[in-house]
Amino acid sequence: LKIITSIKDQKDYCNSLTKKGEKISLIPTMGNLHEGHEKLLSQAGAIKNNKIVSLFVNPLQFNDINDYKNYPDSIDSDISILERNKIDCLFMPVENEILKGINEIQCLRLPDYMNILCGKYREGHFLGVFKIVMKLFEIIKPSVAYFGKKDYQQLIMINYIVKEYFEDKIKIVACDTIREANGLAMSSRNNKMTKSQRNIASFVYKELVALKEIIKADRNYNFKELRKISIDTLSVMGIKIEYLELLSSNDFSEIQKNNTDNLMLFVAFYISGVRLIDNIEV
Ligand code: PAF
């Protein structure tokens, strides 16, 4: 595993590969790698491209300074996971260097659907992701990049970026959410919870599955009523729902006439101050 921290060295490394006609796969991360990331790494391993993981906890995408300061860090274990998964290169940029001039990156306009769900509750978050991903794509020039479906709204924005700014020349691979045995979606933030809190958090996924069953079984479902019952049930367990929405998976539009095609349930919630998100296809 080659570890690179300077942008110039990373560009040189990538240019030397592309000159030889080799292609690059990029897996962008904020570290604290878990089984969900390993799934991205192993999917990337299935093709012959050179595999680069970036690790940078991007302050621009945190709307809460304490969330940023407390973001878990586990570099030694991250490196052994990358080695185990035969990743060729780890790009760990230095904050001053990667953030220099980043605010000059022009974001013409994100689609309106980026202002709902997490875009509504985490001011500036997606703009922060947008800027860092643009910068990583420019430095590394990958042919393929891997993103998890747990951050579904982020995934849709990345598809938009590639279409608008990179002429669709980067292939985006979406990887399924990996779950703990109890159903809780893997997340670096799970480390901030006790075992019993993680167990309680898993009831949100169970509730999503129950809602999905009801929606599929009864075309006359009333989502507003269903949502109220779910929120009440979960709040008794100490879970505070930030949003729970049933929307189109293509463009997050509202569902018309109890449609049952391309639907997705999206949730964000707090448990003991830890904010988590999840989603399932219906
Ligand atoms: O999903 C993440 O871990 C981050 O949002 C990303 C894509 C690495 C950008 O900082």
Give residue-wise pLDDT tens across range 188-217: 999 999 999 999 999 999 999 999 999 999
Do 52 and 136 form a contact (C-beta atoms < 8 A)?
no
Question: What is the pLDDT, as a whole number, of residue 255?
Answer: 81
Q: Is the CB of 129 under 6 A from ligand 1?
A: yes
Integer angstrom CA distances of residue 83 from 41, 63, 86, 145, 164: 11, 32, 5, 19, 34
Q: Is the pLDDT of residue 227 over 70?
A: yes
Please tell me the distance between residue 194's alpha carbon and the centre of ligand 1 in angstroms: 24
Do 172 and 147 form a contact (C-beta atoms < 8 A)?
yes
Euclidean distance between CA atoms 68 and 61, whole angstroms: 9
Please give the helix or strand (H or E) that residue 158 lies within, else none: helix 152-165
Number of C-beta neighbours around residue 121 at 10 A: 14
Please tell me the distance between residue 222's alpha carbon and the centre of ligand 1 in angstroms: 35
CA-closest residue to ligand 1 atom 9? 129
Q: Is the pLDDT of residue 256 over 80?
A: no
The total number of residues shown for the chain amounts to 282
Backbone dihedral angles phi then psi of residue 27, each to the nearest 5 degrees:
-120, 100
Euclidean distance between CA atoms 52 and 142, whole angstroms: 9
Do 27 and 37 form a contact (C-beta atoms < 8 A)?
yes
Q: Is the pLDDT of residue 259 over 80?
A: no
Q: Is the pLDDT of residue 218 over 90?
A: no
Question: What is the pLDDT, as a whole number, of residue 108?
Answer: 72
Mutate which of 29, 33, 40, 63 for ligand 1 pocket (most atoms within 8 A of beta carbon): 29
| Residues that are catalytic | 37
Question: What is the pLDDT, as a whole number, of residue 260?
Answer: 65
Confidence of residue 258 (pLDDT cuts 50, 70, 90): low
Collapse the DSSP code of 149 into the 3-class scheme (helix H, G, I; strand E, B; otherwise coil) and give the result: helix
Mean of pLDDT values over 77-93: 98
